Structure 1
């Protein structure tokens, strides 16, 4: 039985095929010179489709040259043509033999040759020392390929040659070539952050007017920052990122505000789980933070550190080794946040809990106070579903004036009343049942016994 192929053609497939064929010719030419089959190495011209595929966009970057593209294709080859390097070597060494100049290594599961920095050096430079130094520059940490997390060399043990490290390509690039998009990373030990979304809109969020005004300033920064840095030439004067502190009691809208900022500016929002970041082992907290920020770099994600007091709290005087390393963690975090080119939001119940060193580097410190009676009135009015029939003795103005509750607490009361009404096969809620639900919420919060 033949199944119809309903999937649209992958726009990257044709260019990947052309580029891998081209790479095979480049490597074969270098091997022929090395084994004396030809006298001169001649690079081949690449013909590719100038379309919107990822490969075409990479080729058209102004920074991309011959060396950069060969390096990229060597990194991609094991993912799309696993036997390419093995077949080319076998054609020159049919009996098999050690080929140290070519570099390469075996993986844990992959049975073919995985390219290393030495492989790149051999293909691009052969025995030419001067050309080999140029290849080393391309694979250094300050080259744009590494800075932009496109590809890099895997670190090696101390004392071993740097170029013996495996050539790694960002797995997100492989995913984009295969699927045409990059999925948000899943929550894991290596990425201790959860992608958060909401179906709510700005009109559903009732904020203090002063708070709302400051939130609009952040939204303006997200919208216009690229223009300010690039077109208006301010990149050399100001740092590219933005750092804000949201502080106030739980349930006042800090998380929802961060999520709505992402939703209405087209940015992914990740809530960082500090319980997965902080480690009792020396150096592990910094490693966890490094993985997080390395993953987020150049993505323009919004990083939301909820209950940030755990990691951003005031530094202490150094009395013992624990204090010393705790302060080092804070210093490292401060460095990474300052270097991050997106929006970082810290959330805390109390402004005073956050270390002064962080506060000085924040562009915005935004209070989320308990809602006032007029704001509570709007929350009550908007939160109760239209399907519920309210008794005549319920006056939202009086309820809002009498009960000092956060938006989250009001939502809890609403949910309880709605479920109770459904359980009673009734849509009616009267003042007595509403007051009982409010009292239940007070008990839960420990405000009454």
Structure 2
């Protein structure tokens, strides 16, 4: 379900819808508690005037109608949303059990580290929805299975209880993205942190600015076709049962040849978020930590249609070792985890490496495409030189650029470094003319970095 554009009046409409839903939720809570504390009262627990959302087109109502949520699902959704918008409504579950001198076990719940209010667990939801009706309770268990829409789409998350404690004592919470969606109509972009070790890639360039050879361009066109029509192939043509989900591709070639730029441009071209995974924050020397760190990224990206970009991927997807000690054994277990996680991801995953042979064959066998970004040849280098200078300056004559393009084998990244140097030299002279000598000096600097000379 895509997030709509929402204005001030739409925000008010959504607030009204949530207010009615909260009022209904409070009525259900009061009715359940009345029936619990006054079991002899035959009228207790009968108030359940579920709001009709069929004619409501607020963000929240559209979500409920889109997924055809039933009464229990709507109450569970509100239970997880309440701590974010009306937290005091759950304070009633802090009621002390006079017999034991502590909270009621039936109510479940925990108290947060900073949040002083009541945070629900699955047990809270089961009590609210089923009370002491075991049959109803058992039927509700399916709402907490991985296949349910709440878990499958990362709408509601479950933090499993530690050790041998009952699963239904696990805290249940709504994802931050859906808190924003239900309140503002927009999905929040995740912040770079240890909980999400990936940064969003953007670019001010256009697809026409990408300079690659004809064979690479043809392969990239095939990738673009999958982005455009992959969903239709799997869903409308019914190929999801025969094809593995998502699309995995390896970009390999020397630095500065356009691998990262291509990933950014694919996202910009099709309005998809691109996230570069920070492997320095993912890879850990401690057993099992690498998998945990990667799982944070994959879980956050689930069903978001994000492009995940792993730069210098051989650090993570490198060749497996022969097992000689316990560390090698666990390293190979990491690769086994990665293989499975890659296969399960339904979006586009791009692995980037300077050397194709550095990536383990177990991964390359599972790739739909392997695209080589070679050093640009003279024709591509001329295009890069012509496209790189600012429109505010006067670059060297075409004949000079042709000579430079033929004579010096530079990558696109190196050419941009030279253009920056030469442009700064012109600005320092208070001049708009880029001198050939400045360009050549910049080339000398680039070659010197690589241990070469003109």
TM-score for both structures, normalised by structure 2 = 0.92
Q: Deviations over 1:204-248 (max 9, x none)?
A: 111111111111111111111111111111111112200000000
Aligned to 1:22: 24
- Inter-partner Cα distance in structure 2 for 1:191 and 1:390: 43
Q: Which residue of 42, 67, 72 maps to 1:38?
A: 42
Secondary structure of residue in 1 paired with 2:351: strand
Matches within 5 A, 1:162-173: 162-173=167-178
Which of 58, 67, 88 lines up with 2:63 in the alignment? 58
Alignment of 1:174-213 (within 5 A): 174-213=179-218
Q: Give distance in 1, aligned partners of 2:258 and 2:437.
A: 28
Stretch of structure 1 that moved more, 145-154 or 267-276:
145-154
- Secondary structure, counterpart of 1:252 in structure 2: coil
> In the alignment, which residue of structure 2 is the partner of 1:400?
405
Question: In the TM superposition, what whole-angstrom CA distance separates every residue of 1:25-60 from its partner, at most 9, and x where no partner exists?
Answer: 112222222222335643322234744433212321
Is the 1:191–1:291 Cα contact (8 Å) retained in structure 2? Answer: yes
CA contact under 8 A between 1:413 and 1:437: conserved in structure 2?
Answer: yes
Residue of structure 2 in register with 1:145 after alignment: 150
| RMSD after superposition | 2.2
Contact (CA 8 Å) 1:314, 1:355: kept in 2 or not?
yes
Question: How far apart are the structure 2 equivalents of 1:39 and 1:97?
Answer: 28
Separation of aligned partners in 1, 2:57 and 2:451: 58
Unpaired segments ≥5 residues, structure 1: 1-5
Instruction: Tell me what 2:4 maps to.
Output: none
Go from structure 1 to structure 2 and tell me whether the alpha carbon gap of 1:109 and 1:234 turns closer, same or farther (over 3 Å shift).
same
For residues 274-316 of structure 1, the C-alpha deviation after alignment (integer angstroms, 9 at most, x for no partner) is 1111001111001001111000100000000001010111111
Aligned equivalents of 1:178, 1:418: Cα separation in 2: 48
How many aligned residue pairs are there? 442
Counterpart selection for 1:437 from 429, 439, 442:
442
Contact (CA 8 Å) 2:389, 2:395: kept in 1 or not? Answer: no
Moved more, 177-186 or 326-335: 177-186
Q: Find the counterpart in structure 2 of residue 235 from structure 1.
A: 240
Give distance in 1, aligned partners of 2:262 and 2:415.
Answer: 17
TM-score between both structures, scaled by the size of structure 1: 0.93
C-alpha deviations, 1:181-208, integer Å up to 9, x for none?
1232111111111101011001111111
Q: Which structure 2 residue ranges, 5 or more long, are not aligned? A: 1-6
Contact 1:19–1:48 (8 Å) recurs in 2: no
Q: What are the residue-to-residue correspondences of 1:44-443 with 2, within 5 Å?
A: 44-48=49-53, 50-87=55-92, 98-390=103-395, 395-443=400-448
Q: Could you tell me how far 1:177 is from its partner in structure 2?
A: 2.0
Distance of 1:261 and 1:393 partners within structure 2: 31
SS at match of 1:109: coil
